[in-house]
Amino acid sequence: MDSDQRDFYRIQYPQADRPRLRIGALVSEVLNLSETGVRFVPAEGLELVVGAPVAAELRFHDGQALLVAGRVHSIQPEPRIAALQFTSGVPAAKILQEQQILRQRYGR
């Protein structure tokens, strides 16, 4: 398997349709999402530590919210982007639903 390939489909979100990830009182924008993890732009003031456990609410543009949990996998300083690897993540059915919605809207 090529090192750029992943075991799970990863949805890349356009800016207008990005889900929101709420950690505590702070809300961050999701860049991409799979069943096993999420990359996001951390909200101003959100302090993250690689390896630290995180519980969050993931809210989609259709209003559905899921509780997710995991560990901080990485933090990129510029531009500031963080990755969370789920221990309790998003069901495959929701990933497929999101993919279908984006294809209908953007023809991808």
pLDDT tens digits, 73-91:
999 999 999 999 999 989 9
What is the CATH number that goes with domain 11-106? 2.40.10.220
**Burial label, 58 (beta-carbon count in 10 A; 0-12, 13-18, 19+):** buried
Label residues 40-50 b or e (16+ Cβ within 10 Å = b): bbbbeebebee
The pTM of this model reads 0.88
Amino acid 6: pLDDT: 52
Q: For residue 107, is pLDDT > 90?
A: no
Cβ 70 vs Cβ 85: under 8 Å: yes
Q: How large is the average pLDDT for residues 18-38?
A: 97
